Chains A and B, each alone.
Chain A
Amino acid sequence: MASASPNGATAAAAGPRGPLEGLRVLDLTRGAAGPHCTKLLALYGATVIKVERPRTGDLMRHAGPFVGDTPGIDRSLAFLDLNVNKLGITLNLACESGRAIALELVRRADVVVESFRPGTLARLGLDYAALCAVKPDVVLASISNFGQTGPYRDLPASEIVLYAMGHEMYGTGQPDAEPASMAPGVNLRFAGQTAAVATIAALLGRDAHGRGDWIDVSIMECFAASIDRRAISLTAYDYTGEKMVRLASVQGIAIPPMFNICGDGYFHMTVGQGTWWDGFVAALDQPFLREPRFAPPLTDPLLREEFDAFWLPWCMARTKREIVALFQEHGLPVAPVNSIADLASDPHLEARDYFANLLHPVAGMARYPGPPWQMQGTPGALWKAAPLLGEDNARIYGELGYDREALAKLASAGVV
């Protein structure tokens, strides 16, 4: 039995815990965006049954990097991360018995989430109409690259393709280089988190008005509608005819720069020569900076040289945490540029009990990011690691009335 702790340290949660306790989710997703959506539900108490293809499972099981750099279906770091708190069964949806079982599972579920290529559910005889026939108020969330309709519907796409077509990649990066994407995996998980917003809304709507819904989430549009510059730049374009372009950052102009190298890495601060300049000068407590010639704006390159001659050695003699602590005391916006190692040892995250220990029978023990927000009335928790392939077959099929023998028959028939 996996052991875990709410947001980190001591006590173990024995099962789903949180605001969504009692909610049953049938999870037909694979990859990253869909599983991240259902993971958020699982982190906050929903019982999420993850359905995988027999023998091969979710393709993400085969995606590296791996634990110990050794491939294995229970060693994919992305799979382990995306599927915490989920129960796992195998089921071949493409055969008639599999379809019948799926409908039985739908009957017992509140929410169904899927991320097949559009049209797949219909081909499997599991489209919204079919699900409503067994569960009239079901909430079905479909997450796909471009949505269930439209000219791009069937185009193949990877994460970077979707981000690029979500039109903000164009404006990201240096003008003398190619457009730049976000860190790998971030974009698809962002889309999954967006899908969760609509899914919970539909659930609340079902409870209030008695009717479920079929939600059609388009990953490309999740990016196009994002408030990280994108949606705003679209509005600004319609207002002015000017598009967002890649601009040289103020890095080379601002004093001090935004990114600053220091003894053990970098820190980032927003001082420029605006609101926080006086606080910056006070923090440094250097007489030469208080002289009238250093009053903003500092356009003289000689003054800049003089500043740099002091600033660079000053930074190099200190660690990023020391520097951040000093400037924060003076109310300046400043943060260390953290690596993952820095995050793992950060005292604030430690005090917040942010990382949670989880034991996986194959991958072993590790600290995972904890629930993303702290709900003080109904806290979420990590209670189990990602499922082994078919780990919960006996339990879930048992609930449907299949004993060991019957289950074995299903397995040899390739249904399970």
Chain B
Amino acid sequence: MARRPGDGLSDGADDRAAPSPATPYALPPTPLQGVRVLDLGVVLAGPQAALLLADLGAEVIRVESTQYFPPQTRGIFAHPSPEVVRNTIPVSGGYPNREPGERPWNRFPWFNTHARNKLSMTVDLQQPAGVAVFRRLAALSDVLLSNQSPGTLERLGLGYAALSRENPGLVYVEASSFGASGPSHDYRALGLQMEAFAGHDLLRHYRDRDVSSNTWAVTADAAGALGMALAAQMALYARRRSGHGQYVDLSMIENFIGLIGPHVLDFMHNGRVPRSLGNRHYSAVQGCYPCQDAGGPSRAADRHGRERGHLQQAASQTTNDRWLVLTLPDDAAWQAFCRATGNPPGCDDARFATVTSRLENHDAVDELIAGWTQTLPREEAVVRLRAEGLMAGPVLDDADAMADPHLAARGFFWEIDQADTGRHRYPGMPYRFANAKPGVRQPPILLGEHNAQIYKELLGVSDAAYEQLIAEGHIGTEYAAHIR
């Protein structure tokens, strides 16, 4: 029989009979209200998957530790020096005002992006007492999400077999690069290796440069987060009828290959090995073209006037870095382009007369297009192209995004006040609901912020036992002295 989730902190919505649509609610319930998730994620995919469920209303408990600092999760280091911070790109070194602060692990932008709407507890899983605490939590939960390397949880006695014995309804989603089986299942592969293995690198490099020109992207990781969230929810759906949870083995490489299906079929059906088109398109004229204006400054100093470290200076970013993208799928679009640009010489060049000839002479077409875009500020060029109904748009940077009127109108950014960082805007959800009203219930979690709540209220730990767990290194809000 499926366990009943939601005792303790959540409102046990699962136990209620489904109300009729006519029943008014004081507050519309969020879709995943009543679902309890344990977040054992590290780096990106796991914590992001947990965020997706948290934003949709699940109660997500992030299980952390004061004795161990997982790589690239709450920082590069727990206590990064100001010099390290200064010489790191913003996603990893962008602490507020570039200052690590007193508790840098609560101020790390990489972490705080996916840390809201969760609860944080700490426990030392290297100690038997910690494992016992976790097993009690798992017995009370609906979902466990992990992207730790294969075997890690198993070795701690926290594998699916052990936990499902006590909680047959548990949905256990384990994501890894290669999956839990197969000859390469224990291969070590970080995000960049997944992109390489899964075929993405060879499908996206500049056409006129080799694959070593690729700069970093971790699409497999990001898609892996989506896959974990989907797998967990699908398993919950199945559980409603079967009463059982299950184990899900998610290979982020396999999940990514699902995003390049047509390329796979080109090989399987046609025996052709697809090559990168760069920014081009298989059947349309397409590209990224430089515009004239200087736009937002490329900062040699941050907005407080402090000089950036040498790594940032090496960025060799010109100030003329405004671009637009354009797709011209057919003759009608080409003619519209010619009208939009005032019929520059070359528009009626015989080489550009048909779809096929334009593709064959794409380099020359690019020259014509860039010849025009370079004479105009980005916004004006985009407006003129759109006036003819063309698929065109600006290549926006972070500053543009923060000021974007559409994102503002959509309520995309959520303003959140957190104790160690103050008030900031964070990217929210990419979808809206007509009825449910998901929002911010909890700012980006401080380390161990909810220890008392979870240990005492959910797990029923006595005050004396709580103090003992503090003394033994399980419960805390700061990293242990041995952590750098």
Contacts and interface: CB of A to CB of B under 8 A. Distances in A.
Query: Is B one of A's binding partners?
Result: yes
Contact of B234 (A44, A215, A247): A44
Nearest to A334: B193
A161 to B, nearest CB: 4
A157 B391 contact: yes
B190 A270 contact: yes
Given A77-B265, A208-B33, A239-B94, A181 B279 contact: yes
A357 B57 CA distance: 39
Contacts of A169: 288, 325, 395
The 7 closest A-B pairs by CB, nearest first: A377-B246, A236-B94, A205-B31, A241-B303, A81-B261, A19-B238, A183-B203
B262 A248 contact: no
B438 to A, nearest CB: 9
A376 B218 CA distance: 27
Contacts of A240: 90, 94-98, 302-303
Given A209-B18, A213-B434, A228-B218, A377 B244 contact: yes
13 contacts: A158-B325, A160-B325, A208-B31, A215-B434, A217-B430, A224-B412, A227-B225, A239-B97, A240-B94, A257-B212, A364-B269, A375-B246, A378-B246
- Chain A contact-residue range equals 35 or more
Given A157-B393, A224-B412, A335 B196 contact: yes
B199 interface: yes
B283 A336 contact: no
A107 to B, nearest CB: 15
Nearest to B96: A239
Nearest to B317: A245
Contacts of B130: none
A180 B207 CA distance: 11
B211 A337 contact: yes
A242 B215 contact: no
Given A161-B392, A270-B193, A372-B254, A67 B426 contact: no
Contacts of B197: 335-338
A402 B90 CA distance: 62
Given A214-B433, A249-B215, A258 B246 contact: no
Interface stretch (A112-120, A187-195, A292-300): A187-195
Nearest to A220: B406
Contact of A170 (B230, B395, B405): B395
B266 A77 contact: yes
Contacts of A335: 187, 189, 193-194, 196-197
B398 A233 contact: yes
A132 B258 CA distance: 33
B32 interface: yes
Contact of A246 (B221, B263, B278, B317): B317
Interface string A161-196: 111111101111111111111111110011001111
A179 B323 contact: yes
A93 B258 CA distance: 31
Interface in A195-238: 195-198, 200-205, 207-218, 220-222, 224-238
Given A64-B282, A201-B56, A367-B264, 19 more contacts: A157-B391, A172-B215, A177-B209, A180-B278, A184-B203, A185-B261, A197-B56, A213-B435, A215-B431, A229-B217, A229-B218, A232-B110, A242-B302, A244-B398, A332-B188, A341-B273, A369-B261, A377-B245, A378-B235
B375 interface: no
A393 B199 CA distance: 38
B201 interface: yes
Given A20-B234, A180-B206, A259-B211, A228 B90 contact: no
Contact of B316 (A176, A331, A339): A176
Q: Looking at B34, B247, B266, which has the most chain A CB atoms within 10 Å of its CB?
A: B266
Contact of B405 (A151, A163, A366): A151
A363 interface: yes
A352 B323 CA distance: 43
A235 B92 CA distance: 11
Interface in B82-119: 89-91, 94-98, 107, 109-110, 112-114
A161 B200 contact: no
B246 to A, nearest CB: 3
A121 B392 CA distance: 25
Interface stretch (B176-184, B461-469, B472-480): B176-184
